[in-house]
Amino acid sequence: MNRGQRRTMPSFCGTLSLACLAFATFARAQVLTAAQLSAVKSNLMQGAKQSWELGTETEALTEFDSPHYSVVKGAVPPPPGPGPASLDEVFAIAKNIVSNLTISPSDPNAPQPLDLPPGMAAGDSASLGFAVLLADWTGRGKVDGLDYGAAATAQVDWTLTDVPRTPDGAISHRIEQVQLWADSVYMVPPTLAYYGAMNNNRSLLEEAHNQIRLYRQYLRDPSAGGLWKHILLGEASQDDEGHWSTGNAWAAAGMIRVMATIQHSKFSREMTSEVQDLISWVSEIHDGVYPHLNSDGLFNNYADNSSTFHDAAGTAMLASTVYRLSLLAGVHTHIPLAEFSRKSISAPLNSAVSSHASPTSTGAAAPVQSLLHFDNEMWLTPVPNPDNWSVLGEHSPESQAFVIEMYAAWRDWVAAGSPGAHGI
C-alpha cells in the first residue's frame, strides 16, 4: 500500500460539488464484463461453505439472475408456480441444507436452526431462511420430498424462542452468550420479515423492524458520526467496538432487505412509519461512512481508521445499498460516491486512480491479472479475512457476493434511468 492510496476524498466532496465529480472521474468509467461477472459468481458458488456465506450467496444470486424473486425487486410473495431455472443453484442450496436436518420423530415441529455447526453463530443459520422459504413457495417440496415450510418455521421459532436476548429483547447473534454483532442485522431481521410476508403475519414484519431498532440503539455510535460499532457485549476476547466497514454494510443491507420486503408485501400501506425509520437508519449509516471514502474509491477496513487496510468488500456492499436506497426510497444523496466506488472496484490494473497493484496481487500469478481489484481468477481484493475480520484475507466468498449484489443493484438502477446520477 502506498501513501497516495491513503489520502481521503477532498473535503469539498462532502457537498458533492462539480469539482468533486471532476475528481471522481479520475476513475475511468469501467464496467465488469459478463464473463468477468460470471467468474466472480462461480468463485462465490464454489467458495461459499459456511451458513452465512450460503445464505448471502442465495440472496446475491437471486438478485442477479432472478430479480423478480428477490425481495429488493420483486413482489413478496413472488409469482406462484415453479420458479425459473435461474433459481436452480438457490434451490440446490436449500435442498442440501434441509435434507441434512434431523427431524425428531417424537416432536417433528420442534424449533431448530437450519444449520448450526459447533462454534457457529446463532444468527448465521437464519440467513438460510430466504432460500428455504422460496423453495417452499415454488413447490420444490414435492419435487424433493422435503418439508421446506416446516424447516423454515422451525428456524424462525428457534430464533424467537431459543436464542438468548438482551433485557430489552435484542436477539443475540451468538447462542452461548448474549452478544450483538452488526452482521446479525443482515442475517436475522430479513428472514423474520420474509417469513412474515410469506405467511401473512404482520407481527413478524414488525419484529424485524423492532430488532433493527434495538440493534441500532446498542451499536450506533453518535460520537463517530453515526457509524456502527461491530460487536458489543459478551466475551471480551470477541468484543470489537471499531467501526468495521463490512459491519456497517451488513447492517445497511439488512435494513434494505427488510424495507423492501415490507414495501413489496401487502402490508406496505399499513407500515409506512416502519419504512420511514428504515430509510432514515440506512441514510444515517451512509451519512456516517461516505465522508471517510478514500481517494482510491475504497473504504478502510475500519471506516474511520486510516491505518487499517483498504477494503473492497465492504465498499462494494455499501455501494449496493446506495443504489437500492435510490430505487426504493428516492434518496440519491450518495449515488455519485457509490458510482465512484463501483468504477474504482472495476478499474483496470493501470488505472489512473492508482498505479500500484494492491498488496495481495504481487504473487506469482500476477502477469495475467488485468484488473486492479481482482486477481487473475476474479477474486476481489483487498478484502478482510472472512474468519478474522481485522486482518487482510484472500478468496473471501462473501466478498464475491457483495460484488454480485452491487452489480445487480447498479443494473436495476441504470434500468430505472440512473436517478440522481448527478447527486440531485
Ligand X SMILES: *[C@@H]1O[C@H](CO)[C@@H](O)[C@H](O)[C@H]1NC(C)=O
Please say whether the beta carbons of 361 and 373 come within 8 A. no
Q: How far is the CB of 157 from ligand X (least distance, A)?
A: 6
Q: How far is the CB of 192 from ligand X (least distance, A)?
A: 9
Q: How far is the CB of 390 from ligand X (least distance, A)?
A: 6
The helix/strand/coil state of 272 is helix
Residue whose CB is less far from ligand X, 94 or 256: 94
Describe the chain by its helix, strand, coil percentages, rounded to 5. 55, 10, 40
Residue whose CB is less far from ligand X, 97 or 353: 97
Residue whose CB is less far from ligand X, 223 or 307: 307
Residue whose CB is less far from ligand X, 153 or 351: 153
CA–CA distance, 150 with 155 (Å, rounded to integer): 9
Q: How far is the CB of 308 from ligand X (least distance, A)?
A: 5
Q: How far is the CB of 29 from ligand X (least distance, A)?
A: 33
Return the DSSP state at 374. Answer: B
Q: How far is the CB of 3 from ligand X (least distance, A)?
A: 16
CA–CA distance, 338 with 326 (Å, rounded to integer): 11
Which residues are near ligand X by CB under 6 A? 96-97, 100, 115, 160, 201, 203-204, 242, 305, 307-308, 388, 390-391
Residue whose CB is less far from ligand X, 234 or 336: 234
Measured over all CA atoms, what is the biggest interatomic distance in the chain, rounded to whole angstroms? 69
Please say whether the beta carbons of 185 and 255 come within 8 A. yes
Provide the 10 A C-beta neighbour count for residue 122: 23
Residue whose CB is less far from ligand X, 31 or 160: 160
The helix/strand/coil state of 270 is coil
Please give the full DSSP string across 109-165, using - where no structure is assigned. T----S---TT--HHHHHTTHHHHHHHHHTTHHHHHT--HHHHHHHHHHHHHHTS-B
